[in-house]
Amino acid sequence: MASSELSLGRAGHMVKTLADLRIGQLGRVLSLNGRVETRRRFLDLGLIPGTEVRAVMESPVGRLRAYKFRSSIFAIRTTEASTIEVESPHHERLEG
């Protein structure tokens, strides 16, 4: 799914990629795509379908973002984050 392709998932949630989440926005992992090695690394970190993830920070250049899940913060390249499908409530407000 390209990051510009958004659709409605179950219960009216927006389906997008992890890279599409705005800073402060919460998403729930639906699926991991991409290279086998990358998927395995995410699974080893506990990033599995159903995991809640929040985008918390972005590097100045924008190629790297920090996401919080399972009580830890992990830096993930934007290219890799774009291979992870998430759903996000379309009515969710950003924390501030």
- The most confident of 11-15, 23-27, 88-92, by mean pLDDT: 23-27
88 or 38, which is more confident: 38
Tell me what pLDDT residue 90 has. Answer: 58
Which parts of 10-50 fold into alpha helices (H)? 36-45
Q: Letter for the amino acid at 73?
A: I
pLDDT at residue 11 greater than cutoff 50 = yes
Tell me what pLDDT residue 95 has. Answer: 45
Tell me what pLDDT residue 4 has. Answer: 42
pLDDT at residue 5 greater than cutoff 70 = no
Residue 3 main-chain phi, psi, to 5 deg: -65, -20
* Model confidence pLDDT, tens digit, residues 48-94: 999 999 999 999 988 999 999 999 999 999 999 999 999 987 555 44
Domain boundaries, the chain: 7-89
Give CATH superfamily name and number for 7-89.
Ferrous iron transport protein A (FeoA) (2.30.30.90)
Task: Give the pLDDT mean for 9-30.
Answer: 85
Q: What value, to the nearest 5°, has the Cα angle with vertex 4 and ends 75 and 83?
A: 40
